[in-house]
Structure 1
Amino acid sequence: MRFIEWQNGVWSHEPVSSVALADQLVAEAVEGSDYWQKTMYGFQHDNGHALLAPWEREEAMEVSFTLDGFTELYDQAGIMLWHSEDQWIKAGIELNDGVPHVGAVVTDGYSDWSLSPVPEWAGEEITLRASRMKDAVILRARTGNHPWRTIRVARFPYETGETGKTGSQAGPFLCAPTRAGFQVTFTRWAASAPDIDVHTDPPVR
């Protein structure tokens, strides 16, 4: 496993604040920040906060954070997989009707949304994991007290170009669509060996 330093990432949009404290990063989202493209709601938002570093096929990416600050509708954080402004995936925890939900938004010009309630995860540390396989990405989530759960297998087909690089990036993200003052404590950002199969859980480290 390779731990990624917070300072090695670049913010897509600067949050209100981001402070590295020991191994943690505490970030506060701008009120009204979000990522979404068109579908159902019609609107487009591209002002969320993603801390991005290069992400290539040979490594899986993991992001961990605590749920302590999630209190209002649509408070959200997790992992962002970025290829371009209209080709990206965000996966993580979003507060919906007072209950934490694990889910993903997959965007290729238009956004979709899948989610599942996880009230038993409230107050825990969450880890999101993304690992590429063929033309897809396997998205998983767990907590310290709950095992890996596969939450989505989504298309992410971007092939390497002449440079041998995909140009894709990944890292922690947070958004606060409805309020000011939302803070997230990220506890880990790491790369590791990719998944060997969708039916085989990766190690817990």
Structure 2
Amino acid sequence: MDLNKFFWINEPENHSFGENALIFETEPGTDFWQRTYYGFQNDNAHACVVQADRPEFTFSVASRYSPSQLFDQAGVVIYLDSENWFKASVEYETAEISKLGSVVTNLGFSDWATADIKGGQEIQMTYRLSRRKNDFLIESAADGKTFHQMRIFHLVKADGPIQVGVYACSPLQSSFKAQFEDFRFGECVWEAYQ
């Protein structure tokens, strides 16, 4: 995949592109969240995205990072604007446990769906995101091969071109290096419902 077509939303100070790979360092106090429960609004996570005009596609990428503090996270993102977006990632909690989760934000309100998974000093996960117009399927694979459904969701404002890619952030006063590789963008593998 041609990473030269990707562009930054909240560009980090330190980043580098390789052959089908991206590495960047998060900055403290960065996150995506809108209003729900906590009341705050954060729209400063680092995201590197590409415009996707096709109404149906599948995007996949492998992520790896070594968290340094609670809530550190790295994964995939769809970004329309500050009040309409999606993210999926592993969010660090402790050395023993982390949360594999996703956030869907429609019209300025975020939700958060999670499942507890094994923690560790290095977190690896491959994500596969499929689009059928305004509907999406997010899947994850700890081994990079065997994908499991995380959720099916709808983005109200995703009725045209969208921006899809990767993100990472450090909501507290920490920083870590996130690595993404094996970017793939192609035909939709999510079968249409009959």
TM over 0.5: yes
CA contact (8 A) 1:70 1:182 kept: yes
Q: Deviations over 1:56-110 (max 9, x none)?
A: 323211121113x123211101111112221100011111244232110110110
CA contact (8 A) 2:137 2:149 kept: yes
CA contact (8 A) 2:94 2:119 kept: no
Distance 1:90 1:159 in 2: 14
Which one is further off, 167-176 or 119-128?
A: 119-128
Q: Supply the AA of the counterpart residue of 1:176.
A: S
Distance change in 2, residues 1:122/1:156 (3 Å) = farther
Distance 2:188 2:46 in 1: 25
Structural RMSD (CA):
2.2
SS of corresponding position for 2:109: coil
CA contact (8 A) 1:4 1:191 kept: no
Aligned: 1:77 with 2:74: yes
Tell me the equivalent position of 2:105: 107
Tell me the equivalent position of 2:165: 171
Q: Equivalent residues in 2 for 1:10-159 (5 A)?
A: 10-55=7-52, 56-67=54-65, 69-98=66-95, 99-108=97-106, 109-119=108-118, 123=122, 125-133=124-132, 135-144=134-143, 147-158=146-157
Distance 1:159 1:95 in 2: 29
Distance change in 2, residues 1:145/1:20 (3 Å) = closer
Q: Supply the AA of the counterpart residue of 1:132.
A: R
Percent identity of the aligned residues? 26
CA contact (8 A) 1:16 1:28 kept: yes
Which consecutive unaligned segments of at least 5 residues does structure 2 have?
none
Which consecutive unaligned segments of at least 5 residues does structure 1 have?
161-165, 200-205
Distance 2:176 2:62 in 1: 17
Deviation at 1:133, TM superposition (A): 2.6
Deviation at 1:125, TM superposition (A): 3.4
Distance change in 2, residues 1:60/1:22 (3 Å) = closer
Tell me the equivalent position of 1:202: none
CA contact (8 A) 2:76 2:166 kept: yes
Which is richer in strand?
2
Deviation at 1:138, TM superposition (A): 0.4
User: Structure 1-normalised TM-score?
Assistant: 0.83
User: Structure 2-normalised TM-score?
Assistant: 0.88
